[in-house]
Structure 1
Amino acid sequence: MRVAFAGTPVFAQVALERLHAAGFALPLVLTQPDRPAGRGMKLQPSPVKAFAQAHGIPVAQPRSLRLDGKFPEDAEAARAALLEAAPDVLVVAAYGLILPQWVLDLPRLGCLNIHASLLPRWRGAAPIHRAIEAGDAETGVTIMQMDAGLDTGDMLLRERVAISPQDSTATLHDRLAVLGGRMVVEALELGACGGLKPVPQPTEGVTYAHKIEKGEAAIDWTLPADVIERRIRAFDPFPGATAQAAGETIKVWRANALPGRASVEPGTVVAVDARGIGVACGGQTRLEITELQRPGGKRLPAADFLRGFPLEPGQRFDR
């Protein structure tokens, strides 16, 4: 089976590695154009491109796949590359570009998407973040036959994963990436012998995982402590939850909702000790912050952070 691949970040790289290790012919990889990154803001290849180049797999990096869009020359070049690659199937994982109908129709077996949720819950761009933020007890991976809708295609394989109270987007992402890589290999092997049974998605239970915006990072202390704690985990590693203290923007990486009530204004420091920094939140709830980071500094446990940035009960975190 000839498998073309479209993906960009580490989540997709893991799947590409599994496909390569499984011995599938990989005639072409599509990935996003190089982006500036690092202190020097030099152009850097995506993780998918880096892996493909290291293993001699041809790469195309169109800015768009729409033949009538802003970059028709890119789309035409991508179409020529796909036609030459003659894939039986296109596997898609966190690619970042919308696939127009001509792409969906080109491979003999269509396009399969590795989606990091239990569809139809959390269709869209940020399913891992939103599952943690919402307090879901579980999530998973769905291998889906792509159609023209937003994550609306038939489900081919679906596997559940529990979300622990300590999971951040970073830790859950890594588990789901490994699972997705294993499942897409299984789907292709089943598909080769006609063993896949498409199942339409239920019409009930549809939710949308909207893209994470940097503006969401600022902690709203008027929210209950358990909601803030979930957002802190959901926004790790990006964009990182932030709070203003003494004129600095502090990143908050870990925290716990505490029992008991706080009868002061939300955002007020109510306790400081080696375990963490207690802060009043909405509904008279309390949050204990246990890991923080100053601008340009490292993530530090609260006890170490307080040695260089002392806080006292009665001080305020501003939004």
Structure 2
Amino acid sequence: MKILFFGTPEFAKTSLEAIYHSNHEIVGVVTVADKASGRGQKINESPVKIFAVQNNLSVFQPEKLRNPEFLEEMRKLEADVFVVVAFRMMPKILFEMPRLGTFNLHASLLPDYRGAAPINYAVINGETKTGATTFFINEKIDEGNILLQEEIEILPNENAGQLHDRLMVMGAKLVVKTLDGLAENSLKEKPQPTVEHPKNAFKIFKEDTRINWNLDSETIHNFIRGMSPYPCAFTTLKIGDEEKSLKIFSGSFEISDHQKSPGTLEIDKNTFKIFTKDGYYLPQELQLEGKKRMNVKDFLNGFREFENISIVGV
């Protein structure tokens, strides 16, 4: 079949690469416009664009998906199906264009975890399994008819980044399997199951990443795993008179009886404990504002007066 691919980040690039090495023909690749960022305002190209250019695929970078000239270019490609992976919302005039429709790869077992951050929330909520779903796009977010689903186990101490990488590979295979099924007319689309209260995966904002030390230890541990390595959970340290953000990438926890208030620190050159409702958390990898990411031993070596360190905004 002729495929028009829509995507931007590394997660999408892996699916594009899998299609490229399949029996299907990629007639075009649509991705985000190049952006200038950083101190030198260096132009950054998306991973999808980089792969497409390296493999001589036609690249389109529209500012607006409803642009009449862009839409006409897409029609002329005469793609059989559009494949969407980690891209923005598409207008109906675009996703209804190909004869077989437009399908999306979503990193959850729909209908659970519709939204922008399904991998993060599956880990945050302590799920033991998740997966990937291919489904036809309609006008509602992540609510179209399911084509294929595949399940994957979430490992006990796996973080969101590690799960992302495994789902990225599994999802790419599922995309090709979906294309093969559509080509052979062997897939039967089915409506998503009706769930009274599906679990959501809303976009994560900065303040959503603050750690609440009043919660139980396991909930805090899952929250930190689910935010790691990006956008990363944080707390605020007061060091003397100065307040600084402290990102925590990983750690472990212990359940214990104690009389300390949640958020209390027990800290010296060998110990960094943060007390919770039912025990304490032991950070292992962290990053103080203005410093590089480091292990807890190197972090503690940077201090002398531990009694002047506390957590604020518990």
Q: TM-score range by the shorter chain?
A: over 0.9
Q: Which amino acid aligns with 1:262?
A: H
1:133 — aligned with what?
Answer: 124
Runs of 4+ in 1 over 4 A off after TM superposition: 271-274
Question: Which of 163, 166, 170 matches 1:172?
Answer: 163
Answer whether contact 1:269 1:312 (CA < 8 A) is retained. Answer: no
Q: How does 1:152-231 map to 2 (within 5 A)?
A: 152-204=143-195, 206-231=198-223
Name structure 1 gaps, 5 residues minimum. Answer: 68-74
Answer whether contact 2:273 2:283 (CA < 8 A) is retained. Answer: yes
1:256 — aligned with what?
Answer: 252
1:292 — aligned with what?
Answer: 286
Q: How does 1:62-141 map to 2 (within 5 A)?
A: 62-65=62-65, 67=66, 75-95=67-87, 97-141=88-132
Answer whether contact 2:257 2:279 (CA < 8 A) is retained. Answer: yes
Q: Which amino acid aligns with 1:122?
A: Y
Give me the whole-angstrom Cα distance separating, in 2, the residues matched to 1:231 and 1:221: 11
- TM-score normalised according to structure 2 size: 0.92
SS of residue in 1 equivalent to 2:229: coil
Q: How many residues are paired up?
A: 308
- TM-score normalised according to structure 1 size: 0.91
Cα deviation, 1:225-284, whole Å, max 9, x if unaligned, reads: 22221121111222211222213222111122212033212211135564x521112x24
Q: CA deviation at 1:26?
A: 1.0
Q: Which amino acid aligns with 1:29?
A: V
2:303 — aligned with what?
Answer: 309
1:278 — aligned with what?
Answer: 273
1:72 — aligned with what?
Answer: none
Name structure 2 gaps, 5 residues minimum. Answer: none
> Identity across aligned pairs (percent)?
34
Q: Which amino acid aligns with 1:98?
A: M
Q: CA deviation at 1:314?
A: 8.6
2:36 equivalent to 1:36 = yes
Give me the whole-angstrom Cα distance separating, in 2, the residues matched to 1:317 and 1:309: 15
Residues 76, 87 of structure 1: alpha-carbon distance in 2 compared, 3 angstrom cutoff: same
